[in-house]
Structure 1
Amino acid sequence: MSDADTVDTEAEAGAAEDGGEAGLSERVLNQDEIDSLLGFDLGDDDGSDRSGIRAIINSALVSYERLPMLEIVFDRLVRLMTTSLRNFTSDNVEVSLDNISSIRFGDYLNSIPLPAILAVFRAEELDNYGLLTVDSNLIYSIVDVLLGGRRGTAALRIEGRPYTTIERMLVQRMIEVVLADAQAAFEPLTPVHFNLDRLETNPRFAAIARPANAAILVKLRIDMEDRGGRVELLLPYSTLEPIRKMLLQQFMGEKFGRDNIWESHLATELWTTETEVRAVLEEQQMPLQKVLDLKVGDTLMLNAGPDSEISVRCGSIPVTTGRMGRKGQHIAVRIERPISVETASRLTGGKR
């Protein structure tokens, strides 16, 4: 092989290498890589493992794990619903908690599988609303069970038609049972009444918060042997805000805010605390010029007599009154009245 052939071969190899690098630099992302970058995954129904830009956007959402008492309340709700729905349907009902997550209200409305019945209820003491969604599978299952459908047969579903009055009334009875259980689940934490406001089938008419507002979503699964469906309970954070301090507790007993060891230690320290008490014989008001003219040897005339009451004060707060006297070689004050409740409240800053 000649030197010219060698040069041509090296030139072709260099051109091929440059072309490969250009091809790599111009490579286009496929759809899976784009979805991974943006954080969208069609196979992820609950959205628990979001990544990419979607995770950055949703990072502003408050995680329900920061409200540990919520999980206790919803576990109690599951137990109560299992018993009440068994009595309601006279069937073997199993209720399970799928998951608890944080979601934006607008995203939830767009993700509701239709057809469904949406129940808007009002939390009276919290002065706000919540949303309860019943999917179509559970609606037809409840109707089938309450109207005497035989076991082992799937509930008949007729798509494309609105729910009848009978179906809506039967589902409304079940929703009232669920709301009563939710009220009982919150009872140990705080008294709250959940009153059904209206039933909707269009998510646009069930808007109880702004689309960007955060909310707690609780997904419950109800199984009646071979039938069942899902119930979703949504509570906006604005609804839970009045009881947020209670939901931050680690356990139910913490709501009393008491620590026996700390109370005993505080009481011991208070009993051994020394405080300065002043006995005021009399108070007079005089012009500042007269005070500035006082000299050594001047006499101030007091209107208090031997039997006059003396004000006993702690700082600037009057505590009680007494009488001046003598005990041995010391001047003493005999307390005449007990410390009033109003005075004790002022001394402790309004806390008893």
Structure 2
Amino acid sequence: MSGLTDQNLPPEGDDEDVAEDWESMLDSEGGEGGGDGDGEDDDLAAEWETMMDGDDDDGGGGETTRVLNQDEIDSLLGFDDDGDDMGEQSGIQAILNSAMVSYERLPMLEVVFDRLVRMMSTSLRNFTSDNVEVSLDNILSLRFGDYLNSIPLPAMLGVFKAEEWDNYGLLTIDSALIYSIVDVLLGGRRGTAAMRIEGRPYTTIERNLVERMIHVVLDDLSAAFDPLSPVAFRFDRLETNPRFATISRPSNAAICAKLRIDMEDRGGRLELLIPYATLEPVRELLLQMFMGEKFGRDSIWETHLAQELWLTDIDLGAVLDQQTLSLQDILALKVGDRLMLNATPDSRVALRCGDIELFKGKMGRRNGQIAIRIDEKAKPRDRAQG
């Protein structure tokens, strides 16, 4: 057995060769594996570095501040001049003017201005002997100081007074309407635009013609308010400088109605400004939803109240006589003193409810008790004196 075993075993040199082969194989595999691991680690490190760089870039972008341009600043502050409508405001100005009363809360004003437009169309046609069309552009609420600053010059400003309301209003006629009225009234040819001359003051003739037109407009304005509340608008003065036409504090709220007057190819704008302080005496009437607004009657409650009134208990007193005494005499009265009345058994007795005299009669006896026989009703004059 030992011989067989010794014969089957490999020689010692072969074992050393096999060991060297295994060692070389392990070294080669370890080298290849180590190289791959280092590459993967490098890739992971590169990915992490890229991600961190991205996070740093995002953080840096969040820290940078964005600068607003001029248009965005104007829109924020409410000074955007893209639109001509002064009623649409945004930004800080909208917040400041949020407490201002809107004309929409005074529904009857729109009815009054509609009547004014219809009446002015007829009156100005008779005034100019021309085809005149009057239209209402818009109605807006604004502060008086803002309106003065927005008036395009040159223009004429007519100051008028509401006599019954004891306050003032303002009528503004722009340059285009002034020259159109002057051209029409002085016989200008139709189909030609009115000549507009800038850089000079208005002449006396132009002022007088415009003043005549203002009187026509104020008469129509009085007639437009007449169904609501009778009022007379009296022309006060004509100004060309807005600062001389100051009729209210700059911060006071006012309502402005912008009218457009067209005479074929000529025309212009007329603006009517009325402070809210002027409209205060008729504020309750302007709050109505329609002319002559009243609440409906409730016949059921009327019948019920009438029935209950007939069942009301009242105190009725019989007055024999009245005397006027001084406070000194009243304080001097004692138990046992006598008061002499200016009354006899045949004197008339007044029956009163409180201080109101209702009936008159004579005093007598019936069934052992004092009774009064009513002779007549008290006259209204006696009731008032009672």
TM range (shorter): 0.7 to 0.9
Q: Which one has the bigger helix percentage?
A: 2
Q: 1:189 matched to which residue of 2?
A: 228
Which amino acid letter does the alignment assign opposite residue 340 of structure 1?
P
Q: Does 1:22 align with 2:63?
A: yes
Q: 2:302 matched to which residue of 1?
A: 265
**5+ residue gaps in structure 2?**
1-38
Which of these residues, 282, 306, 317, is aligned with residue 279 of structure 1?
317
Q: 1:143 matched to which residue of 2?
A: 182
Which amino acid letter does the alignment assign opposite residue 43 of structure 1?
D
Go from structure 1 to structure 2 and tell me whether the alpha carbon gap of 1:214 and 1:345 turns closer, same or farther (over 3 Å shift): farther
Deviation larger for 79-88 or 26-35: 26-35
Q: Does 1:85 align with 2:101?
A: no
Which of these residues, 301, 304, 310, is aligned with residue 349 of structure 2?
310
Give the distance between the partners of 1:146 and 1:333, measured in 2 at CA.
Answer: 84
Q: 1:43 matched to which residue of 2?
A: 82
Contact 2:363/2:373, CA 8 A, preserved across alignment? yes
Give the distance between the partners of 1:251 and 1:269, measured in 2 at CA.
Answer: 34
Q: 1:252 matched to which residue of 2?
A: 291
**1:300 shift after superposition:** 11
**1:77 shift after superposition:** 0.7
Which amino acid letter does the alignment assign opposite residue 55 of structure 2?
G
Deviation larger for 27-36 or 115-124: 27-36
When normalised by structure 2's length, the TM-score is: 0.77
Tell me how many residue pairs correspond in the alignment: 337
Q: 1:224 matched to which residue of 2?
A: 263
CA deviation digits over 1:145-180, x for unaligned, max 9? 112222222111112121122211111111111011
Give the distance between the partners of 1:155 and 1:78, measured in 2 at CA.
Answer: 23
Go from structure 1 to structure 2 and tell me whether the alpha carbon gap of 1:337 and 1:65 turns closer, same or farther (over 3 Å shift): same
Contact 2:317/2:353, CA 8 A, preserved across alignment? no
Go from structure 1 to structure 2 and tell me whether the alpha carbon gap of 1:161 and 1:289 turns closer, same or farther (over 3 Å shift): closer
Give the distance between the partners of 1:230 and 1:269, measured in 2 at CA.
Answer: 62
Contact 1:323/1:336, CA 8 A, preserved across alignment? no
**1:230 shift after superposition:** 0.8
Contact 2:358/2:377, CA 8 A, preserved across alignment? no
Contact 1:114/1:136, CA 8 A, preserved across alignment? yes
Give the distance between the partners of 1:345 and 1:240, measured in 2 at CA.
Answer: 41
CA deviation digits over 1:267-299, x for unaligned, max 9? 9458735341413244799769857x9xxxxx9
Q: 2:376 matched to which residue of 1?
A: 336
Give the distance between the partners of 1:171 and 1:203, measured in 2 at CA.
Answer: 17
**5+ residue gaps in structure 1?**
294-298, 347-352
Give the distance between the partners of 2:208 and 2:300, measured in 1 at CA.
Answer: 54
- RMSD, matched Cα: 3.3
- Percent identity, aligned pairs only? 62
**1:81 shift after superposition:** 0.2
Structure with greater Cα Rg: 2
Give the distance between the partners of 2:152 and 2:300, measured in 1 at CA.
Answer: 54
Give the distance between the partners of 2:231 and 2:308, measured in 1 at CA.
Answer: 38
Contact 2:134/2:261, CA 8 A, preserved across alignment? yes
Contact 1:325/1:334, CA 8 A, preserved across alignment? no
Q: 2:275 matched to which residue of 1?
A: 236
Go from structure 1 to structure 2 and tell me whether the alpha carbon gap of 1:147 and 1:303 turns closer, same or farther (over 3 Å shift): closer
**1:320 shift after superposition:** 4.2
CA deviation digits over 1:321-348, x for unaligned, max 9? 33235678984440434242573699xx
Give the distance between the partners of 2:82 and 2:374, measured in 1 at CA.
Answer: 84
Give the distance between the partners of 1:145 and 1:55, measured in 2 at CA.
Answer: 42
Give the distance between the partners of 1:120 and 1:214, measured in 2 at CA.
Answer: 17
Q: Does 1:55 align with 2:55?
A: no
Q: 2:107 matched to which residue of 1?
A: 68
Contact 1:319/1:340, CA 8 A, preserved across alignment? no
Deviation larger for 322-331 or 180-189: 322-331
For residue 252 of structure 1, give the secondary structure of its aligned residue in structure 2: coil
Which of these residues, 206, 210, 215, is aligned with residue 254 of structure 2?
215
CA deviation digits over 1:164-200, x for unaligned, max 9? 2221111111111101111111122222221211111
Q: 1:12 matched to which residue of 2?
A: 53
Give the distance between the partners of 2:46 and 2:301, measured in 1 at CA.
Answer: 99
Which amino acid letter does the alignment assign opposite residue 121 of structure 1?
F
Which of these residues, 157, 167, 171, is aligned with residue 210 of structure 2?
171
CA deviation digits over 1:89-121, x for unaligned, max 9? 111111111111211110100010111110011
Which amino acid letter does the alignment assign opposite residue 136 of structure 1?
S
